[in-house]
Amino acid sequence: MNNFLLNEYLNFYIYVRMKKIVPFFILLFSLLTITAQDDDVLLTLGLDSVFLKVKDNEPGGHVFIQKGNQALYALSFGLSNLKTKEKFTENSVFNITTVTKTFIAYSILILQKQGKLSIDDSLAKYFPEIKNKATAGRIKIKHLLSHSSGLPIVATKTKDTIIFIDKPDFEPGSNYRYSGVDYTVLCSIIEKVGGEKWQTFIQKNILEPSGMIGTKIVNANSKEKQNSRGYKKVNGKYVECNQPTCDLRYALCNSVWATPGNLRKYIYAIKECVFLDCESLKPATQIYKPENWRSIRAPIEGFSWTIHEEKNRDTYIESAGAGSGFATQLILYPKQDIIVIWMSNNDVSYSSLILQKLRQRAYVK
């Protein structure tokens, strides 16, 4: 047995013995029968040695890893609600925060497929009330999708929508800046072109075809309380995070709430091209490379997805979100056919840890 396996198993052994979960003779038998070739078992031991340390009475989360049609790891841990003592399970409804932007981006691509818009359209086409026509003509939908529009953060409200323009902070397509403003404008375009609220459009065109029953888009101001709560640690104790209060129309104030199981259905629907044909889906997970790019930072963004192409590493695609104590990440390794979904309500990111374990067992590099 190699040193890595021994260390992984001993860490797990110490934990379960302290918790008095497994009798000694069962652990001893397992230690003698596991071989270094049992990569799936080793991965499970490595991840368990971390996630099973989360106390039963603390906020927790859910982790799911799949390769091909085989589930490599699935675990719910901790509580989704400290007040009610409700445990985190496969059916916990959870705020996926800014991963919601992937649904908005796919809605735009659906409308493009329907012939109702083009990602090459400028904002001037959809917002004739904008005073600076030259600026509006240079900003394209594809710039909004890839966070390369340069739109300022300052917003003014009108009767029908929120308009942000006059002078971009940089030339559209020349640089990157993550912006919720970009996606708020996209939501306005979805409503203008689709003829209904953007939340309703997503429900009809993505959630329902994907079989994501019970998934909903919830406004931060909603009086309807969700079961799960987000927490952060303050002076050694977990306290519940307050949801922001903001304008109903502002995209960042509206988040998809989904169960771990429904997020898997979402990933399957993307992989199997359920709500849109495969060719039309591709731009979302491909790096958008504007011709006038000037930043010293190479572009790595698709449309709401980030594409990591690093030297001596396998390429992976991810979308992550965090806020108000919640965190979610969807990770896809296309070549290895591996998906990773993790969610937490304890203000902790598990991304690096999970990828480290996958690399240690050579599932990816």
In 3D space, the residue among 96, 101, 93, 95 whose CA is nearest the CA of residue 251 turns out to be 101
Order the strands of the 94-95 sheet from edge to edge. Answer: 94-95, 254-258, 216-219
At residue 112, the pLDDT reads 98
Confidence tier at 222 by pLDDT (50, 70, 90): low
Task: Considering only residues 219 and 239, tell me which one the structure prediction assigns the higher pLDDT.
Answer: 239
In 3D space, the residue among 167, 106, 111, 116 whose CA is nearest the CA of residue 138 turns out to be 167
Mean pLDDT value across the chain: 85
Angle 5-9-14 (CA atoms, 0-180°, nearest 5)? 150
In 3D space, the residue among 145, 124, 128, 334 whose CA is nearest the CA of residue 251 turns out to be 145
Confidence tier at 221 by pLDDT (50, 70, 90): low
pLDDT score of 186 more than 70: yes
**Using an 8 Å Cβ cutoff, are 203 and 217 in contact?**
yes
* DSSP strand pairing (338-344 vs 79-81): unpaired
- φ and ψ at residue 277, rounded to 5 degrees: -65, 155
pLDDT score of 157 more than 50: no
CA distance 222 to 153: 24
User: Which segments of the chain does DSSP mark as H helices, in order?
Assistant: 3-19, 24-33, 39-51, 100-113, 123-126, 133-138, 141-145, 180-194, 198-202, 260-271, 278-281, 351-360
Angle 184-186-191 (CA atoms, 0-180°, nearest 5)? 100
pLDDT score of 286 more than 70: yes
Q: Enter the pTM of the model.
A: 0.87
Average pLDDT over every residue of 305-331: 94
Q: What percent of the chain is predicted at pLDDT more than 90?
A: 62
The tokens describing 250, both together, are 């502002």
The tokens describing 189, both together, are 């375009």
Average pLDDT over every residue of 153-173: 62
Task: Considering only residues 266 and 43, tell me which one the structure prediction assigns the higher pLDDT.
Answer: 266
CA distance 109 to 104: 9
Question: Tokens 């596991």 label which residue?
Answer: 34
CA distance 226 to 36: 44
CA distance 212 to 233: 32
pLDDT score of 163 more than 70: no
pLDDT score of 256 more than 60: yes
Confidence tier at 70 by pLDDT (50, 70, 90): very high
Q: Could you give the 3-state DSSP secondary structure of residue 297? A: coil
* Residue 265 to residues 64, 65, 213, 321, Cα–Cα distance (Å): 12, 13, 10, 18
At residue 136, the pLDDT reads 85
At residue 249, the pLDDT reads 54
If you count them, how many residues does the chain have? 365
Task: Considering only residues 148 and 180, tell me which one the structure prediction assigns the higher pLDDT.
Answer: 148
Of the candidate ranges 11-20, 182-191, 309-318, the one whose mean pLDDT is the lowest: 11-20
Beta bridge partners of 319: 330
At residue 341, the pLDDT reads 97
CA distance 38 to 46: 12
Contacts of 85 (CB under 8 A, 6+ apart): 57, 79
